[in-house]
Amino acid sequence: MTVWLVRAGSYGQRETLALEQGLSITGFGELPDLGPIGSRDALAELIRDTYRDADEVRVSSWADQLWAFRELIEVGDLVVLPLQRQAAIAVGRISGPYVYRPDLPDDCCHTRATSWMSSGIGRSKFDQDLLYAMHVIGTVFRVSADKAEERIAAMVGGKV
């Protein structure tokens, strides 16, 4: 099991929807359904075509994040959502595959079903190394801190 961080917007604009609907949401509303994309390179090409002003570093970073969201995150993995509207972090468990949801607002279409176990644990409850590991620029990334899975699962009373 892995711990992933999936943000809900720079200003927390997708937090409420994510928590209420039981979803992890990436944004990137200009992109179509990622389901048919066959490779990370094809995804990078789609991003390049969609975001023509983006430099290659940004294209590569976004492709890595979206490919991880679609392909690398597994059902059962933990997900953390740093909340922007309060000094807290929501913790959940991924419960479904990538799904494109055109029924949701444009910047909320790329989703993973998520069973939220906590809608907000105060940041002060997290060890400093975990907070540092979550303080990476980006929308989707693996939280790499020693025994992050066990420590975060224990905070919500879950078992690994």
| Residues 5 and 132: beta-carbon distance below 8 Å | no
CA atoms within 13 A on the CB side of 112: 34
Tens digits of per-residue pLDDT, 113-137? 999 999 889 999 999 999 998 888 8
Residue 46 domain flag:
no
Banded pLDDT at 159 (limits 50, 70, 90): very low
45-49, 56-60, 88-92, 142-146: which has the minimum mean pLDDT?
Answer: 142-146
Residue 65 domain flag:
no
| Mean pLDDT (whole number) for 59-87 | 96
| Residues 87 and 8: beta-carbon distance below 8 Å | no
Residue 151 domain flag:
yes
Residue 80 domain flag:
yes
CATH code of the domain in which 97 resides: 3.10.590.10
Work out how many domains the chain is built from and give that number. Answer: 1
Residue 32 domain flag:
no
Residue 45 domain flag:
no
| Residues 153 and 160: beta-carbon distance below 8 Å | yes
Listing from the earlier edge strand, what are the strands of the sheet with 23-25? 23-25, 110-122, 88-100, 78-82, 3-6, 140-142
Range of the domain at 15: 3-27+75-155
pTM of the predicted model over 0.85? yes
Residue 60 domain flag:
no
Residue 138 domain flag:
yes
| Mean pLDDT (whole number) for 40-63 | 97
Banded pLDDT at 38 (limits 50, 70, 90): very high
